[in-house]
């Protein structure tokens, strides 16, 4: 499904369901092999456009890809790929955003098997009132390009009043270790509730490599001015509350307050200490 929306146009899709027929494609591999799987919905929208009250079911792989969108508001969506939990769903990102600016995503629900939201590139994004279940968290995934520094930049992002439950990560900031240079600046997570997180409550890593970690962080994409305010909740028995792995000059000017993530059998691990927080 491709939505190319002109200036100041609104789409209200009440009661209908866009069914991606995911079980016909799922094989546990997602976009990493096996059957060819189409990304389900692609959105390109311009000034003042709104897309409201859309229900999405069983995406084959990445559910909603937002690109080349400037001045877009999305609200009242429900993405349900929970059948993929036992049906082989993989890489079923809720919302991926790149090459965009001034995007608002609010009051929506995502049940899936990958990032609830993944910001790849752009500026001035606001996410609020999201409920994420089964996901990999509220994420920044920066460093998609091996050659273009501009493609590896994210600035001015706010996540607020969101809940993440029964997911691998709560908050996840990942910079790609093999990418060219870039930067992440001025990102805020405020009033985030976590519950039943299986890997990391807060996971910030500068060694990301296609779903895994190299263990060797780099500072090719530094993360600066990262604020966490009133992030609280619990992780599962085998999880770690907070994990921070920064490259040598990869992290600066972080301020955290009211961060309280408990549980798990693994102590938090931080090679960088934010202002206002003790790891």
Nearest in space to 253 (alpha carbons), one of 269, 235, 274? 274
Quick check: helix, strand or coil at residue 279? coil
Contacts of 230 (CB under 8 A, 6+ apart): 190, 191, 192, 257, 258, 259
The string of DSSP codes covering 236-250 is -TT-EEEEEE--TT-
Residue among 80, 96, 114, 115 flagged as catalytic: 114
CB 93 within 8 Å of CB 32 = no
176 classed as catalytic: no
| Tokens 């408990």 -> residue | 262
How many whole angstroms separate alpha carbon 97 and alpha carbon 118?
Answer: 6
**Whether residue 114 lies in the annotated active site:** yes
Out of 62, 70, 136, 176, the active site residue is 136
Residue pair 43/5 in contact by the 8 Å Cβ criterion: yes
Rg over alpha carbons for the chain, rounded to the nearest Å, is 18
First to last CA, the chain: 45
How far apart are alpha carbons 37 and 114 in whole angstroms?
Answer: 15
**Catalytic residues, which ones?**
114, 136
């Amino acid at each position: 499904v491709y939505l190319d929306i002109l200036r100041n146009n609104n789409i209200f899709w009440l009661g209908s369901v866009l069914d991606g027929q995911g079980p016909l494609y799922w094989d546990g591999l997602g976009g990493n092999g096996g059957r060819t799987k189409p990304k389900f919905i692609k959105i390109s929208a311009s000034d003042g456009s709104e897309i409201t009250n859309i229900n999405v079911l069983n995406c084959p792989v990445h559910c909603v890809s937002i690109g080349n969108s400037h001045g877009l508001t999305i609200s009242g969506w429900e993405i349900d790929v929970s059948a993929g939990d036992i049906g082989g769903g993989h890489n079923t990102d809720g919302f991926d955003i790149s090459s965009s600016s001034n995007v608002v995503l609010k009051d929506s629900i995502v049940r899936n098997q990958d990032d609830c939201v993944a910001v790849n590139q752009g500026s001035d994004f606001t996410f609020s009132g999201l409920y994420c279940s089964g996901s990999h968290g509220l994420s920044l995934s920066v460093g998609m390009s091996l050659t273009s520094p501009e493609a590896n930049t994210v600035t001015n992002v706010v996540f607020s009043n969101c809940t993440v439950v029964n997911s691998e990560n709560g908050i996840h900031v990942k910079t790609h270790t093999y990418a060219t240079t870039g930067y992440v600046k001025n990102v805020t997570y405020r009033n985030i509730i976590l519950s039943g997180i299986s890997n990391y409550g807060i996971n910030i890593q500068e060694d990301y490599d296609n779903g895994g970690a190299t263990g060797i962080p780099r500072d090719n994409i530094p993360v600066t001015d990262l604020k966490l305010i009133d992030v609280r909740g619990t992780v599962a028995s085998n999880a770690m509350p907070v994990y921070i792995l920064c490259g040598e000059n990869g992290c600066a000017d972080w301020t955290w307050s009211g961060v309280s993530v408990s549980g798990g059998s693994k102590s938090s691990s931080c090679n960088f200490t934010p202002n206002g927080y003790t790891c």
